[in-house]
Homo-oligomer: A and B are copies of this chain.
Amino acid sequence: MSLDAVLSQIDDDLPHALERLLDLLRIKSISTDPAFKGDCDSAADWLVADLATLGIDAEKRPTPGHPMVVGHVGPENGKPHLLFYGHYDVQPVDPLNLWDCDPFDPQIEDTKAGRVIRGRGSSDDKGQLMTFIEALRAWKAVKGDWPCRITFFFEGEEESGSPSLVPFMKDNAEELKSDIALICDTGLFESRTPAIVTMLRGLLGEELTITAPDKDLHSGMYGGIAMNPIRVLTRIIASLHDDQGRVTVPGFYDDVPDLPDDLEAQWQGLSFDHAKFLGDVGLSHPAGEQDRTPLEMIWSRPTCDVNGIWGGYEGDGFKTVLPSKAHAKISFRLVGNQNAPAIRESFRAMVEGMLPPDCTAEWKGHGASGASAVETSDPMFEAARKALSEEWGIPAAYVGCGGSIPIGGHFQTILGTEPMLVGFGKDDDQIHSPNEKYDVESFHKGIRSWARILDAVT
C-alpha cells in the first residue's frame, strides 16, 4: 500500500482525530499547580488508553512528580528505531478573564484565518503530540503493521521545569535508547514554512523576594524613613539591562558565541519579517540588544525577562501600605555554552551586592538548563526536510528557536541521541496566553507530515 493511501486515510479520519484531541484537551493537566495533580494523572491515563486502541502496550510510569508514559511497538527490522517525545501537561490559564471561552471546554471555531482548535494545550503541546499518534493510527489502519521499532515517551512536567525528567532518563537509559528522537513541540517558520529546529535556547528561572521592614507598615507613619522593598526590587530589576538592551549580570556573555557565517547567511535568506512579527502583538521596535538583528534576538542571543512582579496592595481603590516584601519571577534564556549554574550564582551575587542596609533577599530556583545545538549529518534529517517540503509546498528550513526545550539536550547528553524537532505551531497560537489555539491546518498537515517523514526515514 502506498503513502498516498495513508494520507487519504488521514484526510478521511480527521473529524474523529479532532474529537479525540478535544477529549484530551478537556483534562486540566496544569503541571505547575499542585491543585491539578489528579488531572495530570488523568491525562497520562488517557494517553495509555488511546495507545491501547492502537494495540500499543504503553504504561504510566511513576516519578516523584507527574507520571511519564512509555510504550514500545513495531519490529526490530533493520530500519531506524524512532523515539517520539511530547508532553501532556499545560500552562496555567490565568488571567482567566481574558479568555473568550472556557480554556478547558475546547471548541472548533471558524475564524477569518481559517478553522482553529481553541483551548489550553491545543498547540502546546497536546495538539502537536497527537499529530504523531494520529499519523501512526492511519499507517496501521492502511498497512496493518508498523514501519519500524517505535518508542513513545510522554512527559507531564514540561511546563513546570521537568524536575523528574533527567533522573527518569538516566534510570531508564537502556529502554529509551533509539536512533533518533522525534520531538513535536516547536512551530512553523513565519506560519507557512516547515522547519526543523537546530538551535534551542536554555532557561534559568529565579524567584526573588526582597524583605525590608519585618511587617507591613502605614506609609503615613513610616513613609520617608522606612525602606520600601518595592523601591529596592525595582532598582535591581531596572539595572538588569543597560540602555543598549544588554543584560548586565557579570560574565553573562562570556560563553555566548557569535553566529557562524553560514547560519547567518541562511538566516538572512529567510528574510524574516520582523515588522509583521512585532506588529501582530502591537509592537514595532525590537527591544533587545541594539547591535543585533531581530532573528538573532530571538534565536541566538541570550535574554533576561521578568515574568512576574508583585508586592503591596493590588485591589480596587488605594491603600497606603508600605509593604514588608516585594517579589519577582525572573528568567534568563541562554545560548551557546552559557553555564546556567554559574549565571545563577553571578546573578544572585549581583543582586545581593545591590541590597541597601536592612534588606534581605530570599531565592527560589526554578530550573536551569543550557542551550543546545543539533548535529544534522544523519541522512534522516535531509529525508525529513524533503518530506516536509513536499507536504507544505515550501522548502523546509533549519532554524533557531527562542524557546527552551531542554529535552533536546537531554537526549544528546544522557542517551547520545540527536533530537529532530519538528512542529506545526504558528506564531499567533498564543501558547502560554489566553485564547490559545491550534490551526486545524496545523493539526491536519502535521499528521500528514509525520506520515511522510515515517515513510521517508524507514
State the A residues within 8 Å of B (CB). 31-34, 91-92, 94-95, 98, 159-161, 201, 203, 205, 207, 212-228, 230-231, 233-235, 237-241, 274, 277-278, 281-289, 294, 297-298, 301-303, 305-323, 326-329, 331, 333, 356-358, 366-367, 401-404, 427, 430-434
Contact = CB atoms under 8 A, between A and B. Distances in A.
A403 B288 contact: no
Given A231-B241, A234-B237, A307-B321, A92 B315 contact: yes
A321 B212 CA distance: 27
Contacts of A224: 287-289, 297-298, 301-303, 305, 333, 402
Nearest to A302: B224
B308 A321 contact: yes
A286 B228 CA distance: 11
A323 B308 CA distance: 8
Contacts of A431: 218, 221
Contacts of A312: 306-309, 329
19 contacts: A33-B315, A92-B317, A160-B318, A161-B317, A205-B318, A213-B281, A215-B434, A219-B333, A220-B402, A223-B303, A223-B331, A223-B333, A223-B402, A225-B286, A226-B278, A285-B356, A306-B311, A309-B312, A318-B366
Given A237-B230, A237-B234, A432-B320, A329 B313 contact: yes
Contacts of A367: 318
A319 B432 contact: yes
Contact of A213 (B282, B309, B401): B282
A283 to B, nearest CB: 5
Looking at A218, A241, A402, which has the most chain B CB atoms within 10 Å of its CB?
Answer: A218
A329 to B, nearest CB: 6
Nearest to A428: B215
Nearest to A33: B316
A366 B317 contact: yes
Contacts of A289: 224
Nearest to A124: B218
Given A215-B434, A283-B213, A333-B220, A305 B228 contact: yes
Contacts of A323: 307-308
Most B-side CB within 10 Å, residue of A223, A301, A402: A223
Contact of A309 (B219, B234, B303, B404): B234
Contact of A288 (B161, B225, B402): B225
Contacts of A237: 230-231, 234, 238
A308 B286 CA distance: 29
Contacts of A213: 281-283
Point out which of A95, A285, A306, A310 has the most chain B C-beta atoms below 10 A from its C-beta.
A306
A315 B95 CA distance: 11
A286 to B, nearest CB: 5
A156 to B, nearest CB: 13
Nearest to A325: B95
A284 B319 contact: no
Nearest to A32: B317
A318 B32 contact: yes
Given A161-B317, A220-B404, A224-B303, 10 more contacts: A33-B317, A91-B319, A203-B320, A215-B430, A223-B331, A224-B301, A234-B235, A284-B358, A308-B319, A319-B329
Most buried by B among A230, A288, A317, A321: A317
Contact of A225 (B214, B278, B307, B432): B278
Given A32-B316, A223-B333, A298-B224, A432 B307 contact: no
A306 B274 contact: no
A423 to B, nearest CB: 12
Among A31, A92, A284, find the residue whose CB has the most chain B CB atoms closer than 10 A: A92
